[in-house]
A and B are shown apart, each in its own frame.
Chain A
Amino acid sequence: MVYQVKLPAFEGPLDLLLHLIRVNEVDIYDIPIARITDEYFQYLALLEQLDLELAGEFLVMAATLVYIKSKTLLPADPSATEEPFEEDPRTPLVDMLLEYQRFRAAAETLSGREDQQRQFFFRSTPLEIPTREGPLEVNLFDLLTAFREVLERAKDQPVLEFLTRPVSTGERMVAILDRVATVEASVTFESLFPPEADRWLVIVTFLALLELLRQGSIRVRQQVDFGDIVVMRAVA
């Protein structure tokens, strides 16, 4: 006779611990650590028997449980009189469990909203509206040409170097995204390079712009030939 056993799928060690706490009807603030540790190991053994690959996190948690158990078994250090109120060794674990439990509940509510929202149907592609003179998409060479102009300007800046931490591409990416925070907000290519910017800032800003383009976070457009290049946020 073949029995089919259906095991609840656990998302990780915290999920499994919360399950054990619930089925054993114990208090999360007062976990009987020996009992829960035993059950935890029984479950790991079961997983091994079933030849399921054990994620490393489950073993890390096993070690943590054993550590807490050993701490609770040890008598308090009689010499440590200055600190009579020692922290419960379970506290960090309980805090983790509580926090994880909160987010698990938050995930539940998101899941509920997902179900609700799936009853609304929207248009997913734009109507095909023929455009006669739409904005021109800017190619890399247009960008490089514009960049050379900015770089020319930066050349005249007197260079006075201090050993400060230079601005990074990542920071400039964030700064650019802030400038075009909404779909409607757009800025000109020129305005991303303040006149006082030195060569370093100009280059880093340009790299940041290219990276954002590659990610598809922004778009660059040119309304007319040789006109201002406009940078805008890509529609999500």
Chain B
Amino acid sequence: MSQDHLAILEALLFASPDPLSVELLHVILGDVEREGIVRSLHSLQEAYEKNGSGLMIVQVAGGFRMSTRPDLHPWLGRLAKTRPTRLSRPALETLAIIAYRQPITKAEVESIRGVLVDGVLKTLMERDLIRVLGRKREVGRPLLYGTTRKFLEYFGFQDITELPSTQEIETLIPPRQDTQDTDETVRAEREDS
């Protein structure tokens, strides 16, 4: 891979506000094979690391993008005048349900959370973290929601399969003692009676 391609890739990553997919880079560079592009991106990544640069190249939402190094965030925080606010707890809960259960209707989200979610859905739509995927084939033809590419970028996922599995989530819930036993005892008692 010639030096030139590295320079072009670096410039493109610097200029783009969105993650650049290998596909798009292949279209822009024209005669360079996809494997070659991936190799170059990785060698750029290594070069930045080795030189102790303040920048790095990260892989997110199915593409590559240039980012500042995370350990420098205090200084960048001082530079940034406004930053999008953190998501509220209702927003995060709603987003989690949509992410795992998409495509899902508003009513289905509400039945899991036990509260109405109109306001939260609006906020998530405005922040471009969810979108309408279509309509459900049932009475009323309610809208179906799903997550966006921006969602992947925001949380640093490569793709939706990177979401922790429900089993992994399960381990985060503080375990109850003798949970299984009690459950079985209840059943046993009922069978006796």
Contact = CB atoms under 8 A, between A and B. Distances in A.
Interface of B: 14-18, 21, 23-24, 27, 58, 65-68, 70-71, 73, 76, 80, 83, 86-87, 89-90, 92-93, 95-97, 99-100, 112-116, 128, 131-135, 141, 148-150, 153-157, 164, 166, 169-170, 172-173, 176-179, 182-183, 186, 190-191, 193
Contacts of B154: 114, 117
A90 to B, nearest CB: 9
B191 A85 contact: yes
Given A30-B186, A168-B135, A120 B68 contact: yes
Contacts of A27: 176-179, 182
A54 to B, nearest CB: 12
B100 A106 contact: yes
A120 B183 contact: no
B27 A106 contact: no
Contact of B15 (A99, A115, A127): A127
B79 to A, nearest CB: 8
Given A13-B115, A102-B170, 17 more contacts: A28-B176, A28-B179, A29-B176, A55-B116, A57-B114, A85-B190, A96-B112, A100-B113, A106-B166, A107-B93, A110-B99, A119-B70, A120-B68, A121-B68, A171-B135, A183-B21, A236-B150
Contacts of A163: none
Nearest to A16: B114
A170 B112 contact: no
B150 A12 contact: no
B166 A171 contact: no
Contacts of B15: 123, 126-127, 129
B92 A107 contact: yes
A30 B182 contact: yes
